[in-house]
Amino acid sequence: MKHFIDISDVSAGEILELIELAFELKEKQRAGIGYTPLSGKVLAMIFSKSSTRTRASFEAGMYQLGGYPMVLNAADLQIGRGEPICDTARVLSRYADGIMIRTYDHEDVLGLARFGTIPVINGLSDDSHPCQVLADLMTVKEYKGRLKGVKLAYVGDGNNVANTLLQACPKVGVDIAVATPARYACDEKYVSQARAEAASTGASVTICTDPAKAVAGADVVYTDTWVSMGMEADGDERVPHFKGYEVDAALMSLAQKDAIFLHCLPAYRGMEVSDEVIEGPASVVFEEAENRLHSQKAVMAKLMG
Ligand code: CP
Ligand code: NVA
| Mean pLDDT value across residues 22-44 | 98
pLDDT reading at 139 higher than 90: yes
pLDDT reading at 12 higher than 90: yes
pLDDT reading at 25 higher than 90: yes
| Mean pLDDT value across residues 124-150 | 98
Tell me what pLDDT residue 276 has.
98
Residue % of the chain over a pLDDT of 90: 99
Candidate from 51, 132, 161 with most ligand 2 atoms within 8 A of CB, to mutate: 161
Q: Give the residue, by CA position, lying nearest to ligand 2 atom 7.
A: 228
Identity of the amino acid at 107:
E
Ligand 2 near 159 CB (within 6 A): yes
Atom of ligand 2 nearest to the CA of 231: 8
Q: How confident is the model at residue 192 (pLDDT cuts 50, 70, 90)?
A: very high
pLDDT tens profile 52-71:
999 999 999 999 999 999 99
pLDDT tens profile 162-188:
999 999 999 999 999 999 999 999 999
Given 53, 129, 263, 294, which residue is catalytic? 129
Expressed in angstroms and rounded, the spacing between residue 183 Cα and the centre of ligand 1 is 25
| Mean pLDDT value across residues 221-248 | 98
Q: How confident is the model at residue 18 (pLDDT cuts 50, 70, 90)?
A: very high
Ligand 2 near 57 CB (within 6 A): no
Expressed in angstroms and rounded, the spacing between residue 51 Cα and the centre of ligand 1 is 5
Expressed in angstroms and rounded, the spacing between residue 120 Cα and the centre of ligand 1 is 18
Tell me what pLDDT residue 253 has.
98
Contacts of 180 (CB under 8 A, 6+ apart): 155, 156, 157, 158, 162, 186, 209, 245
Contacts of 4 (CB under 8 A, 6+ apart): 10, 119, 120, 121, 122, 130, 131, 299, 303
Q: How deeply is 31 buried, as exposed, middle or buried, from its count of CB atoms within 10 A (0-12, 13-18, 19+)?
A: exposed
Expressed in angstroms and rounded, the spacing between residue 31 Cα and the centre of ligand 2 is 32
Say what the pTM is. Answer: 0.98
Q: How confident is the model at residue 80 (pLDDT cuts 50, 70, 90)?
A: confident
Atom of ligand 1 nearest to the CA of 124: 3
Given 175, 224, 256, 296, which residue is catalytic? 224
Identity of the amino acid at 171:
K
- CA 38, CA 26: separation in Å to the nearest integer? 17
pLDDT reading at 212 higher than 90: yes
pLDDT tens profile 287-301:
999 999 999 999 999
- CA 198, CA 195: separation in Å to the nearest integer? 5
Known active-site residue 132 = yes
CA distances 259 to 150, 155, 220, 274, 303, Å, are 10, 14, 5, 16, 34
Known active-site residue 224 = yes
Expressed in angstroms and rounded, the spacing between residue 216 Cα and the centre of ligand 2 is 25
Kindly report the average pLDDT of the chain as a whole number.
Answer: 98
